[in-house]
Amino acid sequence: MTSLDKPTEDTQTDDARAVTEAALFEAFGGVRGMVETVLPGLLFVTIFTINKDLHLSAIAALAVSLLLVVVRLVMRDTVKHAFSGVFGVAFGVVFAMMTGNAKNFYLPGMLYTLGLGLAYVITTLAGVPLMGLILGPVFKENLSWRTRNPGRKKAYSKASYAWGGILLAKCAILFPLYWWADTAQLGWVLVALKIPPFLLAVWLTWVFLAKAPAPIDVFAEMEAEEKAEEERKAAQAAERGDTEATAGRHRREA
């Protein structure tokens, strides 16, 4: 390696890390996504801790979730993270209202976390890590990492195991509290466990992918193939035109 090679490789590494960071930011919603995830539950547990009013707490949590969606719509921003928050809060509100137990506001989200943690582990064991399915389209590689880029598949497997382990560890804390703690205690612990495990999982994903080979841009490949096909057809058409012109000239000369 020469002294001139090193800066080039460092620059490529920095570019890969920047692309990975941007993709993760897009996939997981960034700072606003974290706020939209935490705020409804925080509002619910705050109001319930103060006045023990299930209906007021539930309505306030649902209202702020809907407000977050409206804000994104007004700003013409992506609403997928806000909408997922609305659905999660709505399920919690319905479940709590139907059972009359405020603690059940958190149960659908806890079950979702458990199912997601298991999905990360099971899909990775099956050879199709969930993180690859989530981030493949973001990196424009789709499923090319499965057969054409083993280094990427290994990184996605590590990231999926990390997410699965973190989410299952979170469930190991929350489900005993669901049975033993009161609503306020469970709510505050759940709010406290929203951001730190999430940030840890995202950071580990970034570490694994930043060290992995670059993704194969299958969209660029398809565009290149389409362009090559168009050029081939144009060349064939031009060749046919030349042949016909030559044949016509020969007929006239004859």
pLDDT digits (tens, 9 = 90+) for 1-10: 444 444 444 5
Amino acid sitting at position 21: E
Q: Which residue has the tokens 């023990």?
A: 52
pLDDT, greater one: 15 or 166: 166
Between residues 18 and 174, the one the model is more confident about: 174
Q: What is the pTM of this model?
A: 0.78
Q: What is the pLDDT of residue 4?
A: 44
Is pLDDT at 160 greater than 90 in this prediction?
yes
CB atoms within 10 A of CB 253: 6
Q: Closest Cα partner for 89 from 71, 112, 122?
A: 112
| Segment 215-231 mean pLDDT | 75
Cα 47 off chain centre by: 31
DSSP code for 105: G
In the chain, the percentage of residues whose pLDDT exceeds 70 is: 78
Rounded distance between C-alpha atoms, residue 41 and residue 19, angstroms: 32
Q: Give the tokens for residue 89.
A: 């809060």
Tell which wins on pLDDT, 73 or 57.
Answer: 57
Closest CA to 90 of 122, 68, 74, 120: 68
